[in-house]
Structures are given as C-alpha cells and as structure tokens.
C-alpha cells in the first residue's frame, strides 16, 4: 500500500514571519528576555518556566496581545502551499511549541482555519494570560530541562507510526530536536525544510535539509516534485 503523506509545519517564524512571544519580549523587555532565553537554552529553567517568567515580566494582558497579533505578518505562499497540499493529497498540520490562541487569531485574520498541535492559552476575567502546556516529553531526551512545551519528535513519530511520509517545515531552536530525530529515523519519503537557525544547525551537523525563505519556496518545490499521496 502506498504511504500517506503529511506536511507538519511550525508556526512561529514559519507560517508567521516572526516569533510572536520572542518579538513581544524582545521589544518590551529585551534584557530580561535575553536572560531567560539563555537560562532555558543552558538547561537552568524549563521551557514552561521560561514562558511563565517571560509573560510575568512582559505584563501584557489580552488587549495588548491582541493588538500585537493583529500586526503579525504571514509568510508569502501559505495559500499556495495549502492548494498544493490539497491537490496532491497531503494532510496539513501545524506543530507548534507556541500557543493555540495565536494560531487561531492570526490565521483567522486571513480566513484560514487549520488543524494544529500547540499549547493552550486562555485569559482570566482580568485579561491575564493562563497557560496549559502539552505533555509529550521524551524522558530519554536531555537537550533541555523538563518539562518541555511539547515534544515535536514524539508527535512526528506518532504520524510516522500511522503510516505517513512527512515533510516538516521549521526555522528555529524548538525544531532542533526534531532535526536530530529526523536524521536518525527519516525514511526515503521524508523531507525536512529548514531556514534561519534551523538551517544553520542542520548544516553544522550534516543533516539533510532543503533551504527555504518563504512558504512559496516550499510550495514550488512540492509542486515541481509532484509527490502525490494516495489513500
């Protein structure tokens, strides 16, 4: 039986042209943001602790967050990529270490509603952010302090176990673990599209990845490759 095909796509910096949390923090609390990001990357705090401390320092409520979300650009080519996915029978699924509220508001602004796996963000009656994080941690992974805000390799593997060849699209440090897992476990039908920090990471470690700048590049590649999924 022919394999099924899925596109798993990061959100922040991939579907959007910037990382939402990082950009808000970098603009409003640059010193504290840099300090917390360094503590996360060196394993002093977990990803969930990092988020909580960043938003505590940021002190944004729902009005400020909504106002920022309404300015976030989307990568050129997202509509083309979705048309190619539909025409060729690819499932399209967003896989994010960020928040569902951001995905829904940003995509809703351009009339899109797409399936996703992401952390949950709601607001209190006073408009304060409230978090519920994914719990896909891999106990064998020691890259970051646990708990992580969702384990992308674990979700990638769930799709593989269901019989899918996967094209993964990403850009940043939350995709590093996925790239390592890809190198160890990818089959001949799997693809990794990388830009920015993720592309640098892959090149440094000899991980096979296709460079991209906008989602238009990914759409054109898949269209020209003509990979067609069949049930």
**Confidence at 206, pLDDT banded by 50, 70, 90:** very high
Going by pLDDT thresholds of 50, 70 and 90, the confidence category of residue 225 is confident
CA distances from 61 to 44, 126, 183 (A): 27, 8, 40
- Mean pLDDT score, 67-85: 97
Please provide the DSSP assignment of 167-204 as one string.
EEEE-SGGGHHHHHHHHHH--TT-EEEE-HHHHHHHHH
Q: How far is CA 219 from CA 88, 93, 104, 138, 166, in A?
A: 11, 15, 22, 32, 15
Residue 146 pLDDT exceeds 50: yes
The per-residue pLDDT for 22 is 97
CATH number of 4-17+73-225: 3.40.50.1000
pTM of the predicted structure, to 2 decimals: 0.94
Positive or negative torsion for Cα 52, 54, 60, 65: negative
Mean pLDDT within 193-219: 97
pLDDT band per the 50, 70, 90 thresholds, residue 36 = very high
Nearest in space to 215 (alpha carbons), one of 114, 118, 136: 114
CA distance 112 to 129: 24
Q: For the chain, which residues make up each domain, given as ranges?
A: 4-17+73-225, 21-69
- Return the bridge partners of 99, or none: 119
């Amino acid at each position: 039986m022919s394999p099924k095909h899925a596109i798993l796509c990061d959100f922040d910096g991939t579907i959007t042209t910037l990382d939402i949390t990082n950009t808000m923090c970098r603009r409003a609390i640059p010193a504290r943001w840099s300090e917390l990001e360094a503590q996360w990357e060196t394993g002093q705090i977990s990803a969930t602790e990092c988020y909580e401390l960043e938003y505590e320092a940021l002190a944004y409520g729902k009005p400020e967050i909504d106002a920022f979300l309404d300015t976030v650009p989307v990568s050129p080519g997202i509509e083309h990529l979705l048309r190619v996915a539909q025409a060729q029978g690819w499932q399209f699924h967003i896989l994010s270490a960020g928040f569902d509220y951001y995905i829904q508001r940003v995509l809703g602004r351009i009339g899109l509603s797409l399936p996703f796996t992401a952390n949950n963000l709601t607001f209190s009656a006073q408009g304060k952010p409230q978090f519920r994080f994914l719990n896909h941690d891999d106990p064998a992974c020691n890259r970051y302090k646990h708990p992580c805000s969702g384990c992308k390799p674990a979700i990638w593997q769930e799709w593989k176990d269901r019989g899918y060849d996967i094209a993964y699209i990403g850009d940043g440090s939350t995709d590093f673990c996925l790239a390592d897992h890809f190198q160890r476990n990818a089959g001949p039908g799997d693809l990794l599209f990388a830009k920015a920090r993720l592309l640098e990471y892959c090149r440094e470690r000899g991980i096979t990845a296709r460079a991209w700048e906008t989602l238009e590049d990914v759409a054109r590649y898949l269209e020209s490759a003509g990979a067609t999924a069949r049930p």
